[in-house]
Structure 1
């Protein structure tokens, strides 16, 4: 059994940390978006650095479930593509660190 290098361990931790930060940012983004929608502004909202404009519209989408099963289940209408997914989970028993600085190193 080959043990991962220290660099690989760092990469796992760095990716996990980035994903945790992204999750927190997405939650904050959604809360701010909802607050802007609840403001029901009739005009763009001017901030010091940004302008928020609410645009309403419709979107057309394809509902594959409404197709007859003969078409939906026919392999001629499907294509497969290869993908690679990196899963990250927090290790049990590891406390969150509170760093004073964030160190970013090129790879």
Structure 2
């Protein structure tokens, strides 16, 4: 929509801008955090993942959940996943940054 100034549309625009910069410059990669994806409609997230899959340069993303995505988008993510982090000892360095250490 022309007058859509919502957060999801803004984040989608940022992703497209970053993709254009990647394609048109010597920039070797970019990184997108899960915050960008959480406000974007599911169908658009699926298309963004497919767009990423076409890229020859590196794109690093953090994504909280893939279960809501299409089977194709989930497959693309699974095939290209390098690191998965989870609670329960599967955090980076084996612990959560926001938990107090027990003495």
| Larger Rg over CA atoms | 1
TM bracket (short chain): under 0.3
Query: When the two structures are superposed, what TM-score results if normalisation uses the length of structure 2?
Result: 0.23
Structure (1 or 2) with the greater helix fraction: 2
